[in-house]
Amino acid sequence: MRILTILTLLLCFVISGCGEKPPENKPVQNTQQTKNIQENQTKTKPYEIIYTVKTKRFDKGINLYVLIEPGDYSKDSTKEDIHAIINKLVKEHGSKTSVDFFDDKKALEIHYQKWVTAKLNPTEADNKILAEHYIAGFSGDLSTGAYKNTLTYFPSGNSKIIEYNPK
């Protein structure tokens, strides 16, 4: 009888894992899911949204006034920085997003006070600051632009208009 009890217990351990520690309650990591999250996180140069305006676009879109780091935005590598920020902002705010980029806070304030609040009639000195520090403007999903998604660069007063479709 004793041998039968021992054999029964032994079978229980072997077949069903009786007596084993219960498995720890750890979340299962899906490596593909982790990889996708990392790929979707867009790294961008530092930027700050200074103003968000929801009443300027006729189509109920949003206007963002963004301060970025100073740099030579006529180079392709720095243009890619602008593209990455646009991609991120459009993803966060929707396709009907317009973004104005400045690399100087005073220039951003001059533009905002002139075009949004209409409280400023800029001086020649103000216009010079704008010409130097208004970097780019993007209008997303806007039927009145040169393109449906229009990106205009203004480095050093030389403007260039392209169609840019955010990813």
In this predicted model, what pLDDT tens digit does every residue of 63-93 receive, in sequence order? 999 999 998 887 888 889 999 999 999 999 9
Give the pLDDT confidence score for residue 9 in this predicted structure: 42
Over range 59-65, report the average pLDDT.
Answer: 95
Burial 95-111 (b: 16+ CB within 10 A, else e): eebbbbbbbbeebbbbb
121 and 114 Cβ atoms separated by less than 8 Å: yes
Over range 114-133, report the average pLDDT.
Answer: 91
Give the pLDDT confidence score for residue 89 in this predicted structure: 98
- φ, ψ of residue 124 to 5 degrees: the values are -60, -40
What average pLDDT does the chain have? Answer: 79
80: DSSP letter: H
Over range 49-73, report the average pLDDT.
Answer: 94
Q: How far apart (Å, rounded) are the C-alpha atoms in residues 117 and 126? A: 16
H-helix or E-strand spanning residue 63: strand 62-68
Q: How far apart (Å, rounded) are the C-alpha atoms in residues 19 and 55? A: 68
Closest CA to 160 of 48, 79, 41: 79
Other Cβ atoms less than 10 A from the Cβ of 117: the count is 10
